[in-house]
Structure 1
């Protein structure tokens, strides 16, 4: 999702499947989220503060896992994706978080893949662990943008991390740090990130809430239950 104005001259692009992860710590009244600033070299949302994330890669379909995604997010996502692709999106959120912040959502497990995506995990005898992920929302980039993504946003508490290492910046995500929830809204955010922050607060336990999607239809931005 981008804040730039639509360009009717651009070809109609099919959204690419993507995923993002909102790491949190603290309770509802003292909530903090992990965010970083996208590099100025990015074509898509340069210099904007976002959550770790990116598009789903082919290797995400066959990732070795310590534990699978819970049944509820799988159930919701399978209204729109195959089970395999739904799981791959959750894997991508965990992988991108590792690549962009150095933080591993993982548990002990025997390495079963030599793909470079999983080297950060395998060095510590770990495998990606999807069991602590909750589905927050979905957002689809409107037409007329340079990039289009169908992004599924997950969240996980800091307790899902394999250890207490500090987040580190990367070429993809700079100035990575924990931000108090009220302060996050004052950063230079894409429109969709404002929406995701509100959804994060809306779906906090204990009351279950429907997962919603932020998308364009007939030229207007809508929020719909999935």
Structure 2
């Protein structure tokens, strides 16, 4: 019997795997969530500053996110990704994501947002026991809520980097959060803030984050626009839309 797809992707994510014959690191699957507030004169985005001790992007301001965990494949959810989002993730030319991975990516984005900011994109539910990365989340009396999420961008870290990620960026309205109050004892980011677009662009941002901030601004004007996919081919940046 073939190995379950979850195990195949976890193998990639759990160790530094190199592409055969090239020595280039294979990117790890990752997901990011952009929470948007529209309860003030200007839309505001949830961002956080990474600890200066991090090996990857220290001191940079980023959206909460991280790599897919084994538990993201099996955790129950209060709702599923919309058919449109699932289709966008699973039908990308040359780089499709299997359905199981598409769902895991959405759940990874929700889990990482809770771990890094203490905020729950979720619906109330009875607290339940769990093992692994989802234990703290499910102990809050909540189940992750995938339905409010839109897929807005994808980017693969350049091949010359010593840490590589195949990151999918999702967006959701802050109205879908259980509360704007952070849960206690959560928050891996040094500092978090709700910032408008001008404030965001003035922060110390990674290039891809700056690109996605601009993309979110466009998407708030046109929710149906295709999602950009940024990667490097033959040493040059390649940008397509899906």
Q: TM-score, normalised by structure 1?
A: 0.89
> Match of 2:179, SS?
coil
Q: Distance in 2 between matches of 1:112 and 1:71?
A: 28
> Match of 1:65, SS?
coil
Displacement of 1:116: 4.0
Contact 1:48/1:190 (<8 A) preserved: yes
Question: Closer, same or farther in 2 for the Cα pair 1:45/1:168, shift >3 Å?
Answer: farther
Contact 1:101/1:168 (<8 A) preserved: no
Displacement of 1:109: 2.8
- Is the aligned partner of 1:149 residue 2:161? no
Aligned to 1:133: 149
Q: Distance in 1 between matches of 2:188 and 2:82?
A: 29
Q: CA RMSD in A?
A: 2.1
Name the stretch that deviates more: 71-80 or 108-117: 108-117
Q: Alignment partner for residue 120 of structure 1, among 125, 132, 136?
A: 136
Displacement of 1:212: 1.2
- Is the aligned partner of 1:216 residue 2:232? yes
Q: Alignment partner for residue 187 of structure 1, among 203, 219, 225?
A: 203
- Is the aligned partner of 1:93 residue 2:109? yes
Q: TM-score, normalised by structure 2?
A: 0.83
Aligned to 2:76: 64
Q: Alignment partner for residue 46 of structure 1, among 24, 45, 58?
A: 58
Q: Distance in 2 between matches of 1:171 and 1:121?
A: 12
Structure ranking higher on relative contact order (CA contacts 8 Å, 6+ apart): 1
> Match of 1:194, SS?
helix
Q: Alignment partner for residue 17 of structure 1, among 21, 29, 36?
A: 29
Query: Structure 1 stretches of 5 or more lacking a match?
Result: 1-9
Q: Distance in 1 between matches of 2:225 and 2:84?
A: 12
What does the per-residue CA deviation read over 1:154-200, in whole Å, with 9 as the maximum and x for residues that have no partner?
01111110123147896731111111111100111100011111111
Q: Distance in 2 between matches of 1:198 and 1:29?
A: 18
Displacement of 1:140: 0.5
What does the per-residue CA deviation read over 1:73-128, in whole Å, with 9 as the maximum and x for residues that have no partner?
10010021100000000000000000000000110234565124333333332111
Contact 1:25/1:32 (<8 A) preserved: yes
What does the per-residue CA deviation read over 1:15-47, in whole Å, with 9 as the maximum and x for residues that have no partner?
100000011101796111111111111111111
> Match of 2:190, SS?
strand
- Is the aligned partner of 1:81 residue 2:97? yes
> Match of 1:68, SS?
coil
